[in-house]
Amino acid sequence: MEELVGMAVNPIWWVSVVLVGVLISIFAAYMKTWIDRFLGFFSNAWKQRSARKNKEFFKELERLQADPHQQLITMSRANYYNSRGQWSGLVAAMVMIMLTSLPVGTIGLGLFVTGMAAVFLLIVMAGSDILQGLKYKNYVDNLDD
């Protein structure tokens, strides 16, 4: 503790702190333009991606409004993906419950690790299917009757 107090009282320590602060400030001033340009690239790419997705969405809506048969297919796809996602989540929960009753030992550990990998895949599949179903449901919800 006395060493820390001795360092804090030492003028060389204070000069070095001020010098490092000044160097960081100068470095930040030079890096600001590069950082702004770098982050501006990502912002511009995000805007272009959003505009492209909006354009694709409205193009798909126009296609669906022109064909009632495609509307029914889109509704059934939304139901299919939502149902499959819910069932995958239910199976993942059931497998997790069953994994709690495994025997202790090397075989039980192997089954547990394999079962957890299956649960992980089922959860990823459930999330993906539900998002896909929501995409189709969004098309159906935005159709003009």
Per-residue pLDDT tens for 57-82?
Answer: 999 999 999 998 999 999 999 999 99
> Does some domain include residue 33?
yes
Task: Centre a 10 Å sphere on the Cβ of residue 120 and count the other Cβ atoms it contains.
Answer: 11
Same domain, 90 and 33: no
Instruction: Round to whole Å and give the CA distance between 23 and 31.
Output: 12
Query: 9 is in which domain, residue-wise?
Result: 1-52
Total domain count for the chain? 2
Joined together, the tokens standing for residue 86 give 């819910």
> Does some domain include residue 62?
no
pTM of the predicted structure, to 2 decimals = 0.62
Q: 9-26, pLDDT tens digit by residue?
A: 788 888 888 999 999 998
Nearest CA to 79 out of 145, 137, 126 is that of 137
Instruction: Round to whole Å and give the CA distance between 85 and 70.
Output: 22
Owner of token pair 């202790």 = 104
